[in-house]
Amino acid sequence: MPKNKSKRGKGRLVEHSDDESINDNVSVISMQSDDCGGSLDDGQEDVGNVTERYEEKFMQALENATEKSLQTRINALQAACEILMLRFMPDTVDDRKMTLIDIIDKSLRRGKGAEQANAAKLAPLLSIQLAGDDIIPKGLNQTLLVTAQDNSVSYEARAKCCFALGLMNFLSEDNIGDILAHMKNFESLFSGSFVKGDNTPSSASAEAAVLHSAALGAWSLLLTLLPPGDLVSFMKERTLLPSMSNLMGMLRSPHLEVRMTAGEAIALVLECGRLHDEDFMDEHLADLIEMTKQLATDSQKFRAKRDRKTQRATFRDVLRYIEDEISPEINVKFGKETLVLNTWSMHHQYTAVCTAVGSGIIVHLAENDFVRDVLQLGEKILQIGGVTTKQSKLEKHLINAAAFKARTISRSKHRDKRSAVVN
């Protein structure tokens, strides 16, 4: 579990009075799950039998992932991803984590196209299942990075590698120097959507834009780990992080996904920086407000109607934050609980986890202690005889003792280095 997990949302939460919390900027999402795990068929079965069946399918998928047939390997990787998205089965994954790392590594290095994309998709699911075990990024970071930077690899697979690198290291990394190194690697990819030297928008292709958007999204996710004071210093130095001018230039991209991701990245930068300096980036506000207003009211007919609607909704939220420091609030309801996302940071973190696990998000919100800690949900709520009760601290401790102890020992030496000066 990442050491700074307890600070992720807390360090970025904006306090509101009771009156302020009731506004028209709140969205509510309700989610339901009939079997708390998306059973592969509709039969009513004992929980133990369902779990055993999933484990058998998972082990069969691992076996098939090493077959000679390309399509068999692709199908196996897809099956493994689906199972880990829909079920929380950390013990099964932990017993086979080295095998899984080896399968992903070989699929990335030797595979092509869909095989590489599905292997990259599987990687962050291991981190989610294993509470951010740092053996996952240690075993896969280099191969994922090489694949993401390889121009001969499909843009889709490279984009998946960027997402995997971002989420895995968000869940596992706590050393600022390493975080910045990853962010610099992502910048080298999304800089292809910066404005040109003659101040004209990037001419990147639609396929390249998918990669640039994924790299910028991963960069933004790691940004949420930076202490506000450090981020302000790095932005002023313009060496470790891109300038605000470069980020603003991406708002002029001809591609919707790049414009939207850039808008959210700018909101994240401002949110973090303003926690340390309330006048942070004020010199850019006039131009930023003008650009954001244009995007929030864009009615140009050459853009698809759906794209215009999506863009306007996103940039209305961005504009409201820039002008009034009001973040969009989303209440995610599942079972008896509600997850409140009331900062750009929390929203971006939730979106990343949700992208990884897809329709299995409700399972992980309800059962996965690590995901609950990352998103600040607190202890699990249990159903005993129809009565809702929270799991006791002792029960939670006993269930997770071994994993917690191992992670604590392996990372204790880095515990006080989070804000170390980066040379």
161: in domain: no
Handedness of CA 108, 114, 120, 124 (dihedral sign): negative
Instruction: Give, as one character, the DSSP assignment of residue 250.
Output: G
- pLDDT for residue 384: 53
Claim to verify: residue 304 and residue 370 sit in the same structural domain: no
- pLDDT for residue 25: 55
Helices 155-172, 206-223: inter-axial angle, 10-degree rounding: 0
Claim to verify: residue 353 and residue 306 sit in the same structural domain: no
3-class state of residue 258 by DSSP: helix
Handedness of CA 27, 334, 343, 254 (dihedral sign): negative
Instruction: Select from 310, 326, 342 the last residue of a domain.
Output: 326
| Cα Rg of the chain (Å, integer) | 22
Domain count within the chain: 3
131: in domain: yes
Claim to verify: residue 246 and residue 297 sit in the same structural domain: yes
- pLDDT for residue 303: 67
418: in domain: no
8: in domain: no
Claim to verify: residue 351 and residue 236 sit in the same structural domain: no
Looking up tokens 């050393």 gives 175
Q: Provide the token pair at 222.
A: 């790691």
Claim to verify: residue 55 and residue 110 sit in the same structural domain: yes
Claim to verify: residue 321 and residue 253 sit in the same structural domain: yes
Instruction: Name, in order, each residue with C-beta under 8 angstroms of 360's C-beta and a sequence gap of 6 or more.
Output: 37, 38, 85, 86, 87
Rounded CA gap, 364 and 357, in Å?
A: 8
pTM for this one? 0.82
Q: Is 131 left (phi over 0), alpha (psi -120 to 50) or beta?
A: left
Claim to verify: residue 180 and residue 319 sit in the same structural domain: yes
Looking up tokens 């340390």 gives 276
- pLDDT for residue 27: 64
Claim to verify: residue 120 and residue 188 sit in the same structural domain: no
- pLDDT for residue 10: 36
- pLDDT for residue 306: 79
Residue 352, domain extent: 332-378
pLDDT digits (tens, 9 = 90+) for 30-70: 665 544 444 444 444 566 688 889 999 999 999 999 999 99
- pLDDT for residue 305: 73
Nearest to 100 by CA among 145, 131, 71, 130: 130
Instruction: Select from 126, 154, 182 the last residue of a domain.
Output: 154
Instruction: Name, in order, each residue with C-beta under 8 angstroms of 407's C-beta and a sequence gap of 6 or more.
Output: 1, 131, 132, 133, 134
Claim to verify: residue 305 and residue 270 sit in the same structural domain: yes
Instruction: Select from 154, 187, 217 the last residue of a domain.
Output: 154
166: in domain: no
61: in domain: yes
- pLDDT for residue 163: 99
Claim to verify: residue 129 and residue 150 sit in the same structural domain: yes
302: in domain: yes
247: in domain: yes
Claim to verify: residue 178 and residue 107 sit in the same structural domain: no
Claim to verify: residue 182 and residue 322 sit in the same structural domain: yes
The ranges of the chain with pLDDT < 70 are 1-48, 299-303, 382-423
